Structure 1
């Protein structure tokens, strides 16, 4: 499967949209207007509007936020942030950081008592 990326979004080709339609959809997901997309692609804003309307027709929606939501729901587009989060979660699971370890039930009370003592000494000083 081939992918197209635009900013923080990644789109899957071959799932019902043409490459140019998908690139416009990714730009809409990134928050760009027709004029900004046209300037980026070197086309007229009217042709960009036509591509976006074609995407809306294929997905059965009538507004831009609904277009992005429907494309995300169908798996046509996905934020690259999800892939980054998955990598970070995988690394944190193997990390031996003492803050990430599972605590025993009694340790929390000791930590709370120590914190309360620190606060009390700071208030009395």
Structure 2
């Protein structure tokens, strides 16, 4: 996804060009994130009626009437997805490219060894004091 064809609102990402106008998509993404109509209006700087009208317009285009059904239809059409999916795609890309920075697999006892050293240092510091 490129920046020109997608919109991100909160933890949700939506694709343009699938029948939703940019402002309709912004409202839909905010609703998918759990925001109320009033919260969406405040965030986007429009009236609550403006949010309702945009969601009704999108619902009319897709043939649904309820907000939950509108979000479900957007999932079916592949218009919206959680932004975490984009993050996973980036991590997979790094692992394929050979960048081990994000995908380093630690040995099972490595963390425990570090914790043991920290505890010993703390015990020595208390014994000296």
For Structure 1 versus Structure 2, the TM-score category normalised by the shorter chain is 0.5 to 0.7
**How many angstroms apart in 2 are the aligned matches of 1:92 and 1:80?**
19
Cα distance per residue 1:33-53 (max 9 Å; x no partner): 111111112211111101011
Please report the RMSD computed on the Cα atoms of aligned residues, expressed in angstroms: 2.3
Structure 2 residue runs without a partner (length 5+) = 109-129
Q: Which residue does 1:40 correspond to in 2?
A: 43
Q: Is 1:97 the equivalent of 2:100? A: no
* Structure with the higher fraction of residues in helix conformation: 1
**How many angstroms apart in 2 are the aligned matches of 1:81 and 1:34?**
24
Q: Which of the two has higher C-alpha Rg? A: 1
**How many angstroms apart in 1 are the aligned matches of 2:87 and 2:59?**
29
Q: Is 1:70 the equivalent of 2:78? A: no
The two structures have a TM-score, normalised by structure 1, of 0.68
Structure 1 residue runs without a partner (length 5+) = 101-125
**How many angstroms apart in 2 are the aligned matches of 1:19 and 1:92?**
33
Q: Is 1:28 the equivalent of 2:27? A: no
Cα distance per residue 1:8-47 (max 9 Å; x no partner): 1111111111111111111111111111111112211111
Q: Report the CA distance between 1:97 and its aligned residue.
A: 3.2
Number of positions where the alignment pairs a residue of Structure 1 with one of Structure 2: 100
